[in-house]
Structure 1
């Protein structure tokens, strides 16, 4: 069934548009995500504090998560192509700010990451909504796979790519390359007919109160998670932040339930398939801390460079790119549930293998490399079925806002996963650990770091195992019906 978007009823998506979408998505998936591996390199080069670095790393995902739903809704109202192009401009600005960051200050890095987060909030939901509007059936599933390759595959390649560039020509070139790619994407999607909802006599309000309370709550919880260990979890500041989090979200839920034009449409969650896709997406992305912890471990505990650490993930991007197409085929044959669960199980095995930090460095390199390949293959199997389940279960009129909520789950899951993992790893690695000395092989001067990595990585394993439970409870067996 054809959608009723205007003014492009007869327009069909083509490979030029798909390439433009792919390039737009990798400005975040590939380029912005490189910081997960090169954060230590950037921190040392700029001469900034580790806490400031951790905040900057999670800032993009945090700001993306805060604004992605409302900006996705803007795409429905004002044009999905237009908002995507605005996102590309923001990506250019953010990359430029980071590329010219002066030493001895984290302000430019932090500001650039905020722009990257806002860019992501524009691009990811609206690019997905454009796919919903302009591709159908098998073509849509293929387009989602390309989108997933840019998002998941780009993120998978980011560690190795970032390590190679940072260790050869310098980390700043990553962001110059990102600017070139964003410009290319901008021109490829220019001229595509606009996709937006038909005009309506009904005047829609703007849920400013809901957005503000949501933002306050999200900022407070992120600061609490990332800085709680340094401030002291029972300190007056931490307790005040916790109180702000609880009060803000209670007010937010009350506002959203009573506001007619709320920026988060909770009615979407009455659809079991959509709810399962969004919830599991949050939890799976919560395992993003696996990369941060494992790569930081080998750099801090085994004196490896960012490039050497990046090579541990060499099987990760290969596996994820292969598995994305495999996930598409499994989706077409079995529906979304089976490949989503299978992907999470395989990813769990991979994360578990990265927890074997008790081994000698030479052994851990082999095991963790295999583990990253399993992790990537699992994520690849999960990616397309999850996105397709979310898209096919909602009407096209709500494609932008629904895609925004789905992508918000990704961004917030990643932000929380990275922040919590980094907080656990940083906090425990600073403590003197002696009760497990006999458990670890080889060096004894880095036991605290290795122990901290195990606990932080087990948190990531918990997130993926929780995703399996959520899928089994919400996503039905078999193929879902596509809604136009």
Structure 2
């Protein structure tokens, strides 16, 4: 497998549509195919004979491992090559999908292993492809390329429920992962011939922060298991209590290590730039609304009896809206001379969409209509937010650190997704458990009123995450400059000129 075309000078290379298409397909292998489990989860539970707690972990563990390893992969991409790391990610994606597609019934080993490998695959692909876009595109061309990257990411997450429903109803859920392998091969073919891009030449000689990596991994796995299994095992179960202690200790070790390490796993100096901090934190919180998608899909299938295909069709408006508005967000970013306003508008529309889905006590037909409108607003909001946020994050750091910075930014995406799904599912599961605390505890677990109540509470949690994202943007993102301050017309503005170097970094 050729890694790059050595006859091309990377200093003279400019990104083209072929590279953009290959990168988008690479991103799609995770956000489209790996995330289809949000909708086909009931079918997978039935065929593989796994319980709700284990299946919830199987959904969120991919984003969890992606989030933990994404910074590592970003640093490795800076050291050894971003094209190389993209190829590694595509290979892992194919292996993970193969394991899931061939999962035998009655065991979770293949499923869990495949989902973990898919997470590591996304960790390799996301920061490497973002760094390639920073290296080989500039100005308006970069914003255009990032819009297509966002279409692959946010659009893929929007299409996943629809694709999962259609494929599950026609060919079976396993076919989804065979398709993922084919897309990974097509992506490799399009990217092939791209010259290699690396970061700081001195980066390869720096020691790696294995203690920080291990501490974060232990903390996140403990957190995920506690959230996923707490209601099943009991919140006062010694195992659950022990894992809570493990989480707290590991998190403290991680923070202490990162602050003292000369070459930390997560460089906290990046967050001294408030714009980068605001973009990353809001990105974490808005990716968490994947939990809202999961809850609505579970509600309509459990309470209203919709099939995976019917529930997937409900998200069509989300898909169309996000694909249509991503480039609108790009243009608003350019016109207003900064990302703050389109990001805030995106948060407001997103919150409005989720609020609509909290009206769970209407009739089945009424709720489907409300959910379609809510999903459409959700897509509009995320579409307006996507490109301004990504460009603000990339524009805030020096080229030599773009892989690590991209890794942290995308770590926020993946951990936000894992966090949102895990907490939303835990709230829903806890409130539907007959032996748990709930005002509806006198009703059977599958009673529609109990399901509606549990879904509404979980959805309001997602609304709260969006509001906190908007607060982070208001406090941290610089206000747009007027055209006179920029020295050029708003429509000619390329990107926001934010801090391009870390403190004491040349």
The residue aligned with 1:160 is 162
Change in 2 beyond 3 A, CA 1:321/1:53: same
Specify every segment of 5 or more residues in structure 2 that has no aligned partner in the other structure, as ranges: 1-7, 482-495, 502-506
Root-mean-square deviation over aligned CA pairs:
1.8
The alignment covers a number of residue pairs equal to: 474
The residue aligned with 1:17 is 19
The residue aligned with 2:221 is 219
1:44-443 correspondence runs (5 A): 44-200=46-202, 203-334=205-336, 335-431=338-434
In the TM superposition, structure 1's runs of 4+ consecutive aligned residues that sit over 4 Å from their partners are 432-437
CA distance in 2, matches of 1:377, 1:38: 24
Bigger mean CA offset, 444-453 vs 60-69: 444-453
Bigger mean CA offset, 283-292 vs 196-205: 196-205
Q: Secondary structure at the match of 1:200?
A: helix
User: How far off its partner does 1:7 sit?
Assistant: 5.6
User: How far off its partner does 1:478 sit?
Assistant: 1.2
CA distance in 2, matches of 1:392, 1:206: 25
User: How far off its partner does 1:393 sit?
Assistant: 0.8
CA distance in 2, matches of 1:370, 1:198: 47
Q: Secondary structure at the match of 1:254?
A: helix
8 A contact 1:321–1:380 mirrored in 2: yes
8 A contact 2:431–2:438 mirrored in 1: no
8 A contact 1:430–1:448 mirrored in 2: no
Change in 2 beyond 3 A, CA 1:197/1:434: closer
Bigger mean CA offset, 31-40 vs 223-232: 223-232
User: How far off its partner does 1:256 sit?
Assistant: 1.0
User: How far off its partner does 1:237 sit?
Assistant: 2.0
Q: Please give the per-residue CA displacement for 1:307-349, whole angstroms capped at 9, x wherever unaligned.
A: 0111111100000011101101111011100010100100000
Bigger mean CA offset, 300-309 vs 39-48: 39-48
The residue aligned with 2:3 is none
Normalization by structure 1: what TM-score?
Answer: 0.95
Q: Please give the per-residue CA displacement for 1:251-279, whole angstroms capped at 9, x wherever unaligned.
A: 11111111111111110001111000000
Specify every segment of 5 or more residues in structure 1 that has no aligned partner in the other structure, as ranges: 1-5, 438-443
User: How far off its partner does 1:50 sit?
Assistant: 1.5
Normalization by structure 2: what TM-score?
Answer: 0.91
8 A contact 1:293–1:457 mirrored in 2: yes
CA distance in 2, matches of 1:449, 1:48: 21
CA distance in 1, matches of 2:440, 2:210: 51
CA distance in 1, matches of 2:352, 2:467: 10
